[in-house]
Structure 1
Amino acid sequence: MSRIIWLASYPKSGNTWMRAFLANYVLNTPDPVPLGDLRAFSLSDVRPRFYDQVFDGDIRRMTAGESVSLRAAAQRRLAAAKDHDHFVKTHSRQGMLQGMPLIDRSVSAGAIYIVRNPLDVVPSYASHLGVDIDRAIGVMADPDHATLEADVQIKTAIGRWDTHVASWLDDAQSLPVCLVRYEDMRAAPEKTFGQVIRTLGLPSDPDRLARAVRHSSFEELSRQESESGFSERPPHMERFFRAGRSGAGAQELASGQRDRLVAEFGAVMRKLGYLS
């Protein structure tokens, strides 16, 4: 039976970049994979059609609570959507909600977990949500933070930034998890993405790796968005791909905002090397 390889992250932490790299490496095309093709290459755990297959009735009438109760069943359909293990994007935390597992391990092969310094996440997430930075900090510190899809009530339980990270990394013994820091993707892309390729057991080819890194670079993704748009960009955002540099977001924060983030998330930030 085919299984899911989760591409998991807190929002605005580099998930799309990882998906673009993997698409370019696996498909190995001479030209960059179009942004519009990412939806077919890596599915999403909130894709309505998989809930439609398990919901008894018109999916437009499904409640958020019903979507949570159907997550495991939808994920079983999602795993079976391809005849081989395949990548699925998620922003969900691990754990339980309403007595139901948010990630069905029975159909999970493992996960790549992408993490980013919350000092850089928060300005990007504020732009994504259409709120100011102080509000975004509050959202990232909310244990009940969740999102709903625009057209149907499919709920994603996200929670606090630090507990989101811990929910994936602390479960690495029962579900294999490959941790990837956004900052390492930026500073040493070939080394970092090369480790991902080896972890996945994909054929190792230095030329193929270098080409996939070029084809999924921030500059290339930004160029494609400028020319063709990107369906995952919220309507209120001018651009999905912002600065993309490590440390650029933190420069937008006032000292009090940085102090608040450290007070909330300092323990996990230190564990990940974001604080000395």
Structure 2
Amino acid sequence: MENDESVLRRKLEMVCGVPLFWSIVEEWAQVESFQARPDDLLISTYPKSGTTWFSEIVDMIYNNGDAEKCKRDAIYVRVPFMELIIPGISNGVAQLAKMPSPRLVKTHLPVQLLPDSFWENNCKMIYVARNAKDVAVSFYHFDLMNKLHPDPGTWEQYIEKYMAGRVAYGSWYDHVKGWWEKRKDHPILYLFYEDMKEDPKREIRKVMHFLGKDLKEEVLDRIVYHTSFEMMKENPTTNYKMIPKDVMDQSISPFMRKGIAGDWKNHFTVAQNETFNEDYERKMAGTNLQFRTEI
């Protein structure tokens, strides 16, 4: 990825009321017309909800727990980021078009913006949701170091933008609720980051069954071991160290920062927490979707 100052720290643009990276919006016709295949597996999340973690888990399941096979390339090459199109740097749609089936596809798109071909082909999907407070903290640190997004400003400024949905991919509330509702009429395995932290083997087994695989216990144990936060943080194919510093400056904040549930307590003031809770209750009223903010 070569640095081009003109692509960095630009303001987000809108597609159907959802703020996205400016060049995704410019190239939206390519994203919208993406051609899914029936055996594609979509891994969908709101940003900073365990996307890379689950991408690595699924790739390991597909490769029967062979850790060396899963080091064949960076995670963003093995599981392309479908909608990320940056002129002269990256094009997820083109990358996926060249890949043999079965493909693993990553997206952060809210359910209403997903290309129609995924629904038409009845593709299986895994959605991973993480509690709103930890996502806010993780997204803030990510935006500090990820120069493809606008400068996040102070934590105080950021938390307000986040609550209002004025960050990349829009409202966390709309995103998690939209995918939650969609699972009623489509094969979507809806998982929670906190459940995964609590008992990774149990959750990986759910993924395995959803994919119609039958792996031995020792293979599952190997997957749990190789996809632990500690292992992935040191793994050059998953820690994003291959991305140049002028795009992602990991001296500001590492891509794999803490990987825990409950870190929000180290950032939210008492007043911020009260305001956030009131806003949360309002926006999540009427849904049976429940989150844990610690385990």
Is residue 26 of structure 1 aligned with residue 62 of structure 2?
yes
* Aligned residue number for residue 222 of structure 1: 233
C-alpha change, 1:126 and 1:8, in structure 2 (3 Å) is: same
- How much does 1:174 deviate? 3.1
TM-score normalized by the length of structure 1 = 0.74
Segments of structure 2 that go 5 or more residues without pairing to the other structure are: 1-36, 145-151
Read off the aligned partner of 1:45 and give its amino acid letter: M
Read off the aligned partner of 1:214 and give its amino acid letter: Y
- How much does 1:273 deviate? 3.4
Question: Equivalences for 1:161-240 in 2 at 5 Å?
Answer: 161-225=172-236, 229-231=241-243, 235-238=248-251, 239-240=254-255
C-alpha change, 1:83 and 1:34, in structure 2 (3 Å) is: closer
Q: Matches of 2:98 and 2:276 in 1, distance apart?
A: 40
Q: Matches of 2:278 and 2:85 in 1, distance apart?
A: 38
C-alpha change, 1:196 and 1:227, in structure 2 (3 Å) is: closer
C-alpha change, 1:144 and 1:247, in structure 2 (3 Å) is: closer
* Aligned residue number for residue 122 of structure 1: 136
Q: Alignment identity in percent?
A: 20
Read off the aligned partner of 1:178 and give its amino acid letter: L
Equivalent residue in structure 2 for 1:242, among 257, 260, 269: 257
Determine which structure has the larger helix proportion and give its number. 1
Equivalent residue in structure 2 for 1:15, among 45, 51, 55: 51
Read off the aligned partner of 2:46 and give its amino acid letter: Y
Question: Please, what is the CA RMSD of the aligned residues?
Answer: 3.2
- How much does 1:117 deviate? 1.0
Equivalent residue in structure 1 for 2:107, among 90, 107, 125: 90
C-alpha change, 1:102 and 1:16, in structure 2 (3 Å) is: same
Equivalent residue in structure 1 for 2:272, among 239, 257, 271: 257
Read off the aligned partner of 1:40 and give its amino acid letter: V
* Aligned residue number for residue 149 of structure 2: none
SS at 1:201 equivalent = coil
Greater displacement, 29-38 / 16-25: 29-38
Number of aligned residue pairs: give it.
Answer: 239
For the 8 Å contact 1:44–1:90, the answer to whether it is kept is: yes
TM-score normalized by the length of structure 2 = 0.70
